[in-house]
Every structure is written in structure tokens, then in C-alpha cells.
Amino acid sequence: MKTRPELSCITSFFLIIILLSGCGKNRSGEPQPDTATSGSFELTADETLRPVIDSLVYGFNVQTPNAKVTVRYKNATEALDDLIQQRTRLVLIGRPLAPKERDLLAKEKIELIDADVAENAIGCIVSSKSKLESISMDSLRTLITNQSLPAGNANVMVRISSPYLSSTESVLDSIFGLDHYQSGLIRRYETSDSIISRVRADEHAIGFVNASWLKQLSNSGDTGIRVLRISGTSDRPIMMHPAYVLQGLYPLVSRICAYTSDVPNTLPRGFLAYAMSADGQRVFLNYDLLPKTQILKLVPPQ
């Protein structure tokens, strides 16, 4: 008995539909686990890094069409808490774990994969109307610790702005050897763009923001903000530039760190691999952050 060709085609078509309808589910009806290049997950990232992380996520999604990564922005402390509470699978923040956070992880017997992704340069910004061109580390410490202002500066430096519980403030505390959050001259803001807006409108304000925000402003042609040169170990004020970060001359630097408890061949680990790859590291360099895994030859600006 011969099978009618059109019946055979119809039967084959429905078999394909049945097979496709089963894709993405296992026997229990649950979606199949993701892989390093497929599936979806929500990254939790440090708000202070938003411009560069947005670009990194976009690059990964374009390069990996079977994967979909979205991102939620929080401050570094909240992001780490989400990871510890298993509300997120991967975090990217602008600082390493604090000793208290490492102690908590050890107490809860939580093991994390951690990776240094890039060097986190922090810019000290003022309004373009400000008379300041540079500032010393000693003067910054005086302001941050709310001591008496140096003579001649009392009418210039009035406010330090940094978002509460942010990686920026933690980095400043570490750089200046402080063990608690400061008050007085400090005014805290929830987001980096609110700091930028405040500084732009106040010629007496000083703010701290990640280099990627400043690169974004530069790319947009914004001239309302200037980045101060900083004098630290040398008398010559140093501008914020990846070459000077690489040489260890620019003083306001931390690390961009990734933390996850996911095992290999999962999408968070695939995204982390992309961030550490040549393509991902180029994204950081494009935003004036220093890549961690690439050999670089950077020429300082004249």
C-alpha cells in the first residue's frame, strides 16, 4: 500500500510542530536550564557603573542572539545582599567585598566565584563655573572627614556628593583610611546623574562619579562639568586617564568586581566570560576604564 504524498507531508509537518512545542521544557514541564550562550537572566549591577554596563549588556545580547540579559541597577551593598539572598545570579560592582561581607559569606557557607573585570577610575567633578582646576588628596581628605577647611578654600569647596552606601563612598573611605560613613559637608544622592545635575548647578560643589559617566557626558558634548586634576604622591596634578591609572599615578581608583555562585556553562558565567574577553574589555576601555585581562600600551595625553 502506497502512502499519499500530501498525507505524508502533513504528517511530517505535525510531527515537527509537536517536537518544537516540546523544546525548552524538560519532562517536568519546567524550562530547560540555560547555557553560556542561551536563555535569559537579570544581572544586578552597580548604579555608579551604569553607562558602561548598559553598553556591555547591549554588546553581549547582539553577539549572543539566543541569550537575553537584562539589568537592574542598585547600589553596591543592595546588589551584594541580593546575591547572598539568591535574588540574583550575578552582580557587577565598583569595589571588592568588604571584610564584613566576606565574614557573612563564610558564616553562611556561601562560596562565590569572583573576578576582577576592570580598574574603576573615579572622577572628582566641579561645575564649569568653578575656579578650581585641581585639588590635592590632603584637601579632599580634609573635606571628607569634615575637618576645618584649609585657609583660602573656605569659599570654594563646600560640599562633597556621593550616593549613600555606594561603591564610590566605600572606595573613598578605603583610600582615606576611614571606617565609617561621614556626615557634615557630605550630601548623598541616590543616583550618579543626580550628583552631576547638582554639581552642574552649583559652582561650589564637588562630586565623585565613575569615569564612564564622564565619558558619556563628553560623548554628548556636555560642557557643564569639569574633571579636576588630583595631586597625590607627586606635586604634579594628574588628570583622570586610563594611561595614568595603568601607571599607578591617578589616585582615585578601585576595582570593578564580578561575583556569582553559578556553575560553569550557565548564562551568568557566559556573560562574565564575555566581560573578560577582548570584546568586553574593549567596552570598558571605550568608557575610560582600564581593562584587566588585556595587554595594553596606552599613551598619556600631552
Question: According to the model, what pLDDT value does residue 142 have?
Answer: 81
Residue 130 sits at the vertex; the CA angle it makes with 46 and 244, to the nearest 5 degrees, is: 50
Chain-centroid distance, C-alpha 49:
3
Could you say which residues of the chain have pLDDT below 50? 1-27, 150-158
What contacts 24+ positions apart, CB below 8 Å, involve 293-298? Answer: 296/242, 296/246, 298/242, 298/243, 298/246
Question: According to the model, what pLDDT value does residue 18 have?
Answer: 33
Q: Got the DSSP string for 117-128?
A: EEEEEEEEEEET
Query: Three-class SS of residue 13?
Result: helix
**Ordered structural domains, the chain, with CATH:** 39-119+255-291 (3.40.190.10), 121-246 (3.40.190.10)
Question: According to the model, what pLDDT value does residue 186 have?
Answer: 76
Residue showing cell 556628593: 161
For 13, phi then psi, to 5°, come to -60, -45
Residue 93: count other Cβ atoms within 10 Å of its Cβ: 31
Q: In whole angstroms, give the CA distance from residue 157 to residue 206.
A: 7
193, with CB counted inside 10 A (0-12, 13-18, 19+), is: middle
Give strand pairing partners of 258: 92, 115
Question: According to the model, what pLDDT value does residue 44 have?
Answer: 98
Question: According to the model, what pLDDT value does residue 177 have?
Answer: 82
Chain-centroid distance, C-alpha 38:
23
Question: According to the model, what pLDDT value does residue 169 have?
Answer: 86
Q: What is the dihedral of CA 39, 42, 46, 48, to 10 degrees?
A: 90
Question: According to the model, what pLDDT value does residue 234 have?
Answer: 63
Question: According to the model, what pLDDT value does residue 164 have?
Answer: 63
Q: In whole angstroms, give the CA distance from residue 257 to residue 91.
A: 8
Q: In whole angstroms, give the CA distance from residue 73 to residue 82.
A: 11
